[in-house]
């Protein structure tokens, strides 16, 4: 099955030539001649890529693009603009377009852009899948590799002890859930609570110094006063 490309463009001759060339490259195409029906098709069909003209009857290209993003769709949107100044506006308004091509465009260039943008999504998807499969927990700039048993912050390795790592992994695997210090002793230290729960506090404090931007105002390992600790994934 070829990738689905939605063309939203009001000039019939441009739609025809795009259709012809994209189909010849093995893509499946759909077309809309105004903004509103283009948006409707985009939401209904969730194509792999959208070629979106800027000046359209009804909703213009900016509004269509913003509505597509607002609906949570992340496919590449390649804007077709008539002039360079419009292209600047595309980027300046941050409508959520990924790329643009100015008219008149060469078909070879357009096809190359389509390929590049589709490849980028494929790579992102593959990276996401690989990440999920490899058991990497990511929260903002903090990553916990549960297979490699390592922690990085902003891409740089964080030097954690075995126990700090176990505690962090345990909490981060269940974000938002509060654990008492006794429960953490049992779960992370693997013995029924007999010793000093301050061991937990000390380990939390050390971890915060390593992973928090401001250890005194932690965003990851949060204290729930009188109850215990929780990991905030927000």
Which residues contribute to the site for Ca ion (CB under 5 A)?
10, 53, 55
In angstroms, give the least distance from the CB of 53 to Ca ion: 4
How far apart are alpha carbons 221 and 172 in whole angstroms? 9
C-alpha 127/C-alpha 83 separation (Å) is 35
**At its nearest, how many Å lie between Ca ion and the CB of residue 55?**
4
Give residue 93's Cα distance to chain centre: 20
Closest separation in Å from C-beta 44 to Ca ion: 22
Residue among 58 and 175 whose Cβ is closer to Ca ion: 58
Secondary element (H or E) of residue 7 = strand 4-8
Between 10 and 212, name the residue whose CB sits nearer to Ca ion: 10
Is 14 or 183 the residue whose CB approaches Ca ion more closely? 14
To the nearest whole angstrom, how small is the minimum distance from the Cβ of residue 232 to Ca ion? 47
Nearest distance from C-beta of residue 56 to Ca ion, angstroms: 6
- Contact, 1 vs 28, CB < 8 A? yes
Residue nearest to Ca ion according to CB distances in the complex? 55
Tokens of 50: 């959208």
Q: Where are the alpha helices (DSSP H) in the chain?
A: 12-24, 35-45, 61-70, 84-92, 107-134, 162-172, 181-188, 198-211
Q: Which of 53/86 has CB closer to Ca ion?
A: 53
Cβ closer to Ca ion: 107 or 123? 107
Phi, psi dihedral angles at 139 (to 5 degrees): -135, 110
Cα 181 from Cα 196, distance rounded (Å): 10
The dihedral over CA atoms of 133, 135, 136, 139, expressed in degrees to the nearest 10, equals 110
CA-CA distance, 78 to 100, in Å (whole number)?
A: 5
Min separation Cβ 66 and Ca ion, Å:
18
Q: Which is nearer to Ca ion, 48 or 53 (CB)?
A: 53
Nearer to Ca ion by Cβ, of 57 and 148: the residue is 57
Report how far residue 77's alpha carbon sits from residue 192's, in angstroms, rounded to the nearest whole number: 56
Instruction: Tell me the sheet residues that pair with 180.
Output: none
Nearest approach, Cβ of 78 to Ca ion (angstroms)? 15
């Amino acid at each position: 099955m070829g990738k689905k490309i939605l063309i939203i463009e009001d000039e019939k001759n441009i739609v025809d030539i795009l259709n012809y060339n994209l189909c010849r490259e093995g893509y499946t195409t759909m077309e809309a001649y105004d903004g509103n029906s283009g948006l409707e098709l985009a939401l209904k069909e969730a194509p792999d890529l959208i070629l979106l003209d800027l000046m359209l009857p009804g909703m213009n290209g900016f509004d269509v693009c913003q509505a597509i993003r607002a609906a949570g769709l992340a496919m590449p949107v390649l804007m077709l603009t008539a002039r360079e100044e419009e292209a600047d506006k595309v980027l300046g308004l941050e409508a959520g377009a990924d790329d643009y091509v100015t008219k008149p465009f060469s078909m070879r260039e357009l096809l190359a852009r389509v390929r590049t943008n589709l490849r980028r999504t494929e790579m992102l998807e593959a990276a996401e899948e690989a990440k999920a499969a490899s058991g990497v927990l990511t929260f903002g700039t903090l990553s916990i590799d549960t297979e490699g048993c390592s922690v990085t912050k902003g891409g740089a390795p964080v030097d954690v002890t075995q126990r700090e790592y176990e505690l962090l992994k345990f909490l981060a695997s269940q974000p938002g859930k509060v654990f008492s210090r006794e429960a953490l002793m049992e779960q992370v230290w693997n013995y029924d609570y007999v010793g000093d729960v301050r061991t937990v506090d000390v380990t939390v404090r050390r971890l915060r110094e390593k992973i928090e931007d401001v250890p005194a105002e932690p965003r990851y390992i949060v204290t729930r006063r009188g109850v215990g600790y929780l990991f905030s994934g927000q």
